[in-house]
Amino acid sequence: MDAGTLLAIENLRTYFYSRAKRAFIRSVDGVSLGVARGETLGIVGESGSGKSVTALSAAGLVTAGPGVISGRVDLHSNGTRRNLLDGLENYARFTEQDGRVMAVEKDERGWRKHSDRLMAGVRGKEIAMIFQNPRSALNPYSTIGKQLVETIRLHTNFKGEREAKERAIHWLERVRIDSPGLRFDNFPFGLSGGMCQRAMIAMALSAEPSLLIADEPTTGLDATIQSRIVDLLAQLKTETGITTLLISHDISVIQRLSDRIAVMYGGTVVETGRAAEVLAPGATARHPYTAALLASIPSAETIRRKSYLQAIEGEVLDTIDVPRGCRFYGRCNRVTEAIRENCAGIEPPLAEIAPGHKVRCWLYPAAGKA
Amino acid sequence: MRRYVQTPGPIGRFSELSLAQRAGPLDLLYTGYGLLVVAVVVASYVLGAFGWLPDDPQAINVGLINAPPFTSGHLLGTDFLGRDLQARLILGIQAYFLPGLLAITISLAGGSILGVLAGYKGGWFDTIITYFDNLLDSFPRLVLILLVIAAFKPDIYYVMVVVGITGMPVIANLIAGKIAFLRQMSFIEAAHALGLPAHTVVLKHILWLNCRALLVIQATLGMAEAILVETSLSYLGFGVQEPTPSWGNMVQAGANYFLQGNFWPSTAPALAILATILGLQLLGDGLNNLLEGKRRK
């Protein structure tokens, strides 16, 4: 990755275990992503595509077993590079067969202790997160002011009660909360969902982290509030220049905020590139899944013509039983006879079809060369 | 008929509404009565501890036995040896006050630790607590206490340790349940993501902010339980021994004269037990409605 990279995820695999099926759920299966300093990388995909788990893995927040089993997460900050998964491979051993993980042995306690050691000083300070359902992400029995002051005193040099409070009110102002002095003493249930999300954003940003992970920040909010929160995130991005990893299933949110986009499907990245290119209207060079996703959002055009929205046929990939070939093969409507054999049997590589634009599909000749 | 009235003053600041505005009148009555009982008991304990009694509780006056209330010099009358009932009732609080506090301390501390482990860590802690709970449930508490008395010595503190330990699973279950509920909300995860250390999350955000009301309520109920155990044991003769007064042995001693028409010497301590336990139970109930904002059951 180039010098401007802040976070580089390499070949990350996060599996969970289904006791009922005695099988691994391959939530994230070999994801490589890079987030450059100052940019917003949008990860988009259906529910269950592994986008949230990717972010949680990077922040060391996966608690269910076996969890993150391999990969690298490099955080470049303060001139140093830290692998946030460094040494964790000593705590999880897996046996592979035909390139597929068949068994994982993991020392959960050792893993968690080591992970907490690695993440100390990173979680909240370097990497901050905001979640969906902001109301439940705040402690209901404490005022938002107190919670904000707590993170400020923990992560910044504003250690005194008074200066931390001033700082907290400053941040409430920054996230456009009306009369922040009054709202400071409000409990989360006294505020609307949008206000809670603003408070949450203030808490995340108050530590002045290098990376903000926004995991479905608008899900669970009203449509009008959603658009206000998106506006706020856009404004804060221009004001602070913060690097953001934005996760959403809502393409319009991703479209408005992202510089680059990664489309995820079945635990892998199927397409990545500059937002303008990947989501360019009318572009033909894109992954069939991205095309299908785009066709499924109502545009002014489809509404005017009263035409039906295009649903993606079939169901989201069951990541327990991953097919040998392309993960999207079963739902793909652009398979041609020429490539059918490849699609069914061999997983396509993530091939560069234009500078900075990579697609994981046999439709593009670059895939054959890679 | 239900009335809907907007509260005067700033709107939406629930926390700043007075108790009267937040609660129903019954809750206030319960809580008020409970607090009154607690105040009387604590004040009486202090009086007893310093020996500031209206009369000598051990002074025998054979000329004035089983006197009714309002006898001159004896506001609540005398017992079968002519000892002042009021002084003995006040001194009787010594028998359960500190032991009761010990019992609730043990059950609150132990219950919180187990509850947090079960709710926060889960896994086999949860299993252990379930088994512990089942084990204690399947064993009559009084028998367990008598076993301890037989094995060690009839000391009220030993008994209260047993009461404390047997009270732990209830609190552990309540806290584990509360944490399970809090887990559905994502603020614990969010707190971790914000980099708060685990002990801050557990002690401050879970136990202090979210479980303190529950713990206060359980403390009042636990105290009521401890008093009941102490008085029952003293009544049965396994607790505090004559001539040291305890409400339990006072009821027992007075009961011998009950059928002769001298009902007062045993009724007075019995009423004291009733009033105290009722007060603590109602306090627990009232606080539950005021603090937790919902009815029990």
pLDDT, tens digit (0-9, with 9 covering 90-100), for A148-205: 999 999 999 999 999 999 999 999 999 999 889 889 998 888 888 899 999 999 999 9
The ipTM (two decimal places) reads: 0.74
Answer whether A207's CB lies under 8 Å from A125's CB: yes
Among B14, B187, B210, the residue with its CB nearest the CB of A136 is B187
Q: Do B192 and A61 touch (CB under 8 A)?
A: yes
Q: Do B194 and A59 touch (CB under 8 A)?
A: no
Tell me which long-range contacts A285-291 makes (C-beta under 8 A, separation of at least 24): A285/A353, A285/A354, A285/A357, A285/A359, A285/A364, A286/A359, A287/A263, A287/A328, A287/A359, A287/A360, A287/A361, A288/A328, A288/A332, A288/A333, A288/A334, A288/A361, A288/A363, A289/A263, A289/A265, A289/A328, A289/A331, A289/A332, A290/A263, A291/A334
Q: Does the structure show a pLDDT above 90 at A338?
A: no
Can you give the pLDDT at residue B18?
58
B142 touches chain A (CB under 8 A): no
B135 touches chain A (CB under 8 A): no
Residues of chain A with Cβ-Cβ distance to B184 below 8 Å are 136
Per-residue pLDDT of chain B (297 residues; tens, 9 = 90+): 555 655 554 444 445 555 556 667 788 888 899 999 999 999 999 998 888 888 888 888 888 888 888 877 788 888 888 888 889 999 999 889 999 999 999 999 999 999 998 888 777 888 888 888 888 888 888 888 888 888 988 788 888 999 999 999 889 989 988 888 888 788 888 888 888 888 888 888 888 888 888 899 899 999 999 999 999 988 988 888 888 889 998 999 888 888 888 888 889 999 999 999 999 999 988 888 777 654 333
Among A59, A125, A187, the residue with its CB nearest the CB of B14 is A187
Please report the number of interchain residue pairs, chain A to chain B, with beta-carbon separation below 8 angstroms: 76
Can you give the pLDDT at residue B17?
56
Among A121, A136, A154, the residue with its CB nearest the CB of B185 is A136
Interface of B with A in 168-187 (CB under 8 A): 184-187
Report the gap between the CA of B197 and the closest CA in chain A (Å): 9
Query: A256: burial class by Cβ within 10 Å (0-12, 13-18, 19+)?
Result: middle
**pLDDT band for position A366 (cuts 50, 70, 90):** confident
What percent of chain A has a predicted confidence (pLDDT) above 90?
A: 34
A-chain residue closest to B198, CA distance:
A116
Look up residue A343 and give its amino acid: C
Mean pLDDT score, A298-324: 74
Q: Does the structure show a pLDDT above 70 at A241?
A: yes
Q: Do A128 and B12 touch (CB under 8 A)?
A: no
Say if pTM beats, i.e. exceeds, 0.80.
Answer: no
Chain A interface test: which of B120, B181, B187, B210 (most A C-beta within 10 Å): B187
- Give chain A's contact residues with B (Cβ, < 8 Å): 59, 61, 116, 121-125, 128-129, 131, 133, 135-143, 150-151, 154-155, 185-187, 189-190, 200, 203-204, 207
The rounded mean pLDDT for chain A is: 87
Q: How far apart are CA A117 and CA A123, in angstroms?
A: 11
Report the gap between the CA of A281 and the closest CA in chain B (Å): 37
Can you give the pLDDT at residue A1?
44
B121 touches chain A (CB under 8 A): no
Q: Do B196 and A150 touch (CB under 8 A)?
A: yes
Q: Do B194 and A129 touch (CB under 8 A)?
A: yes
